[in-house]
Structure 1
Amino acid sequence: MSKTDTPQEKLWHLIKDMKFAMFTHRHADGKLHAHPLTTQNRAIDEKGMLYFFVSKATELGQRVQADGNVGLSYGDPGKDTWVSITGTATVSEDRALKERLFNPMVKAWFPGGLEDPNLELIEVHIDHAEYWDIHESKMTQLLKMATAAVTGTPPTMGDHKELNMG
């Protein structure tokens, strides 16, 4: 993160190419459930929100209305970048926001477009984010792990930081 990057900009830099998040929420029976969802943002605004279209035919919107505490996980194994986000989810009825975010890929799931009776928008206010961003090659990582195994000193690889989204 450069000195000029805000936490939102750093977070967006990490997840912008990882379009899919595992969206974890609490089910009615108290257990955690996760769903793969497509992030609809083109950036993260100053409010620190992420957006997801979901179907009213599922219970996801009902679940976040009952308990808005959610977790989002993003991962890019090829780049060794991992992001964990906790936030508060709500169902948005903001028509202008839906219009701004709706795109042809969303239409594949909601053929009725913005008028589709199953279309629902969930917004997640980011409360906390943590990331692991490994810059070393796989060979260097293996060498560091082997050295750590011999020396008993855990390896240091890449960046691991928490972002204050306040």
Structure 2
Amino acid sequence: MSDHQELWDLLDDFEFCMATTHDGETMRSRPMAPRVDKEAGVIRFLVENAAPMAVQLQQDQDVLLAFIAPTDRNFISISGTATISQDRGLIKQLWNKAADAWFVGGPENASVVAVTVSPSYAEFWDGTSSTIKTMWEMAKARAKDRKPDLTERKKIQM
């Protein structure tokens, strides 16, 4: 399996991520519910058009998405560019029950927009090793006074 395929397969397991944008001289992160589109090679989510994130992305399209699954020891960091769309068809496609809870008025609500992130770089740590292997690595690390090797780290130019 290629590194690209492994990355997209790992992304299926994440319900949430932290999306970081530039806010003037600082950076801001907020939790998002990503919708992964493997075939298009993008990650999408819905936001209010007037939300700080949408405003920030109109000024600077650079975005960082951080996915964390500590129980599986899987971590993904994706850098990319984001575009904002008011396409009602796309918004309807992304709409689900969780969106009903967050956004008033359904997918036809004019204040909801779709954000599409096109990845340019990804880094991930796949910690799918067994508990026994993890314990073994921890013991080896302690005996040799080094850090344990619990995950496989990969970098991908997208």
TM-score band (shorter)? 0.7 to 0.9
Identity of aligned residues (%): 30
2:13 paired residue number: 17
Q: Secondary structure at the match of 2:107?
A: helix
Root mean square deviation, CA, Å: 2.0
The alpha-carbon distance between structure 1 residues 109 and 154, as it changes in their structure 2 partners (threshold 3 A), is closer
Q: Alpha-carbon deviation of 1:81?
A: 0.5
Q: Secondary structure at the match of 1:113?
A: coil
Superposed, 1:18-97 pairs within 5 Å as: 18-28=14-24, 30-41=25-36, 43-46=37-40, 48-97=41-90
Q: Secondary structure at the match of 2:93?
A: helix
CA–CA distance in structure 1, aligned partners of residues 51 and 90 of structure 2:
21
Larger displacement relative to structure 2 (48-57 or 18-27):
48-57
Q: Alpha-carbon deviation of 1:131?
A: 0.6
CA–CA distance in structure 1, aligned partners of residues 3 and 135 of structure 2:
33
Superposed, 1:114-133 pairs within 5 Å as: 114-133=107-126
Count of aligned pairs between the two proteins:
158
Q: If the length of structure 1 is used for normalisation, what is the TM-score?
A: 0.83
Q: Alpha-carbon deviation of 1:142?
A: 4.3
Superposed, 1:139-154 pairs within 5 Å as: 140-152=133-145, 154=147
Unaligned runs of 5+ in 2: none
Unaligned runs of 5+ in 1: none
Q: Is the 8 A contact 1:40 1:53 kept in 2?
A: no
Q: If the length of structure 2 is used for normalisation, what is the TM-score?
A: 0.87
1:159 paired residue number: 152
CA–CA distance in structure 2, aligned partners of residues 57 and 158 of structure 1:
39
